[in-house]
Chain A
Amino acid sequence: MSQNKKIKNQSVDLDMEKSIMSQINSEQISMKPQWYFVVGSFLMMTGLIALSIVSVFFTNIILFSLRSNNCFNTIRLDMMIESFPWWMPILAIVGIMGGLLLLKKYDLSYKKNFILIAFMFIVSILVVAWFIDYSGLNEVWSRRVPMRRFYQHLKMEPGNSKLDFEPMANNFRKIQYSNCYVN
Chain B
Amino acid sequence: MAELNQLSDEQLVKQVYEKDKQLYAEIIKRYQIKLLRYANYLVYDEDKAADVVQQTFIKAYINLKGFNLKKKFSSWIYRIAHNEAISILRKYKKELPLDDKIELIAAVNIENALITEEFNDQLNQCLSKIPLIYKEPLSLSVLEEKSYEEISEILRLPIGTVGTRINRAKNLLKKLCHKIKK
Contacts and interface: CB of A to CB of B under 8 A. Distances in A.
Same assembly: yes
A33 B64 CA distance: 9
B156 A114 contact: yes
Interface stretch (B18-26, B87-95, B130-138): B18-26
B65 A13 contact: no
A2 B64 contact: no
A24 B21 CA distance: 8
B25 A17 contact: yes
B158 interface: yes
B65 A113 contact: no
Contacts of B64: 31
A17 B65 contact: no
Nearest to B58: A29
Interface residues of B, number: 31
Interface of A: 2, 5, 8-9, 12-13, 16-17, 19-21, 23-24, 29-34, 36-37, 40, 109-114
26 contacts: A2-B103, A5-B101, A8-B46, A9-B33, A12-B46, A12-B50, A13-B36, A16-B28, A17-B29, A19-B54, A20-B57, A21-B25, A21-B28, A24-B21, A24-B24, A29-B61, A30-B62, A32-B63, A32-B65, A33-B65, A37-B65, A40-B66, A111-B153, A111-B158, A112-B158, A114-B156
